[in-house]
Chains A and B, each alone.
Chain A
């Protein structure tokens, strides 16, 4: 961003309520989504380690595809979807808010 940093601009930004809003919103989303990815992945690993029989069951009775395969592919798709969600939210909410914050504080 091509904005000259004057001596007290950082102070004025930190006092602007929009700054706390931005930091709080982004932190909640980032840590929340990270927790969702962690839960999905470690859930998958722990099931594979301690309940392999469950993962070996077919999704549909008599079918070939097992619960484990579905969950594994599901974790991959889940991860990609959540990154998409974050980027979308950052593009549409965080970026305009950051811009407004800097403009207001100049």
Chain B
């Protein structure tokens, strides 16, 4: 399908703007003017509508079908959340409005959203306070590292490194490094699929600023030793960080705060059903315990005695601004609506059925595929296609074959510690019929591994393209359409 710039026709217009109604003519001196041609495309509104409608048809979203992308929690995004996010009282609200005199009173509805959502998230995770400012999960991780660094600086602690399990998401070590720390990987006990406690005890010390954990882990296993791990870290005044990427498994069943975690981040676009947007925007609120509250980013939302809400900037120990305004507000708004609709029992049911769906799939697949850690899983589990790979069919081939069966593939080749990994997270939204159809497809693929592997290694056949050449892409670096190329 042509790139939009190829469709451009000189002189064509897509939007019509009002005639200038003021007598003034603004002038910009030649010295400040652009000397190059702007070269944006020139199309009619219908041209643009057809182009993007055609592009949308080459995409697969949760609304198209089953999307068991492990670790990403591709649950259904209820349409009511979109209706809430279309209200003009929110969409048309300028973020500097609170900076006007008595400006807080001009945005009471918005501040209430922030305040109430912070309180709900604090209760869900068992933390003392929450900031909604981080704009994505990894941004939450970095904020958490900054909070921990501020805490240690304030206490005069000399801390240099962060311990992170080897199965962790890549963002964990990256966030810790950008936060100014050296990173050391703690091994996973291959049998239990959980952190190697002995190794941790040997590695932790006075230099340890923090231990970052994901629980359930990326293997989908809940670590029962969690309280002990927290204890070991705290003995050295290391802070314990909870990566909430997998929070969907434990809603109403476990709260990181109760287990002693000091910092938690949540991914609203995973657990709280806000759309993933083709790669964002998400939101990564961070919750902390009391001893870290003073360091939280500003502004903070407070409720005053007269039940009005205000933004407060007067926190001298704060790490300062981590985002320009108050977080990805419209994402927070949707998450708040979602929590209100589900309520306490709805959230518990969500985690319950997410875990039920994952265990059901795992049990139905375990005879034909190797399960990386064969024990009760939480919201996701990891298969290893090691045996299939020996027959020439790799995890990527299984993923591509699933596309031809009408499904979005699972996450593949992650976690890194499992060979030929296929990480499957069905979420609670999916029905038994959908899960059964996915099992049928997987069993069919399993049979094809021996019978007709070429069907798998040549898949997908049903898509507009088949296995784009990534090496060529990196080598050629064609990352913008050249000017004058095929343009009229």
A binds B: no
Residues in A lying within 8 Å of B, measured CB to CB:
none
